[in-house]
Every structure is written in C-alpha cells, then in structure tokens.
Amino acid sequence: MSGGFSLDELTTALHDAVIKASNIGEQAALSAIQKEEQWVVVLNDDGTPAQDDHGNAVYRPRMVTLRLPFWEDGKKIERDIEVPLSTLTTNSQLMLDKISVKMKVQLHGLDDKADLGCEHRKIRINTNTGGFLGKKSGNMAELELVFSGNDAAEGAVRIDNQLIKLIP
C-alpha cells in the first residue's frame, strides 16, 4: 500500500526520537563534568592526571570558600568554610519527564506481506487523514502514545547527598 506505513514503524520512529532526545540530556551532564566546571581532575605529584585501577580519570569536587556568620559564646563571628561548588547549584539536567503524541490515523488493515499464520502481523496506517483535498475514511482511529522519562541517576543523587554532608 503506497503512502502508508505500519504502526510498528511509527512507534519505533517516535521511540527512537525520544531516546535520542534523552541522550542529549545525559551527554550534557557528562560534558559538564569533563569541562571541570564543578569537578577538577586530580593530578599526581608529577602533574599527570591521576587514574583509577581501570585507567579512568579521577575527579574531586571544585571547592569554594564562603565566609559564613556563626554565633559563638553569644557573639557573632565569621568563619571561612570550604563548600563543594556543586552543592550551591541545582544540578538540574534537561531530562524528558513525559511526552504525549496524539494523532488521528487512517487504518488500512493488516500488512499484505504477512501470512495469516504469522504471530506478528503489522497494522498498516496512514497519518495523512484529510486536508483540503483529502478524503476522510470511516476507518479512522485516534492514537495516543505516551513516553515517560526517568528520574536523575541514582549515582548523581548519592554523590550530591554525600557532598552536602561536608557543609557544617
């Protein structure tokens, strides 16, 4: 059938687009670490980057010094406190929470190439459901696909929680 495609092809294309968009957010988070905005590569005594047992670079949090007021014996004093820079930012990433795609499709039956005995026969659809010269068919269906995102990486959350413990 010309001009149509299977429902499987449509959902796969949309799913792939959602995955690709989600990967962009993850790559941005990794890039921020590698740019050393909030993390610094640990250097050996000879100035070369330190590596773990697997040959990966070792990072430590970039620290800033804040002069904070404290009360001591009824008197306000100021004390310099080193704080991990990442605890002072939101560390939010562009992540997909939910994508909802609604469309009307024209149903064209099952794929002609599929045998009746096949376990998985593809439903043929056409998203061109009308328009100025388009003819509408009685085989219309409204389709809604919902994709949900994930929460922040557990490792990132645990690191943030550990760094927050450094603040007095």
What pLDDT shows up at residue 1? 42
- Measured CA to CA, the distance from residue 102 to residue 146 in angstroms comes to 9
Residue 14 has pLDDT above 70, yes or no: yes
What pLDDT shows up at residue 48? 95
What pLDDT shows up at residue 85? 85
Residue 65 has pLDDT above 70, yes or no: yes
Note the pLDDT tens digit of each residue in 26-54: 777 677 666 667 888 999 999 999 999 99
Higher pLDDT pick, 76 / 146: 76
Helical residues (DSSP H) of the chain, grouped into ranges: 7-34, 154-164
Note the pLDDT tens digit of each residue in 66-125: 998 888 899 999 989 888 888 887 655 555 667 777 777 776 666 666 555 555 556 666
Q: Where are the beta strands (DSSP E) in the chain?
A: 5-6, 39-41, 59-61, 63-72, 75-84, 98-110, 123-126, 140-148
CB of 10 within 8 A of CB of 125? yes
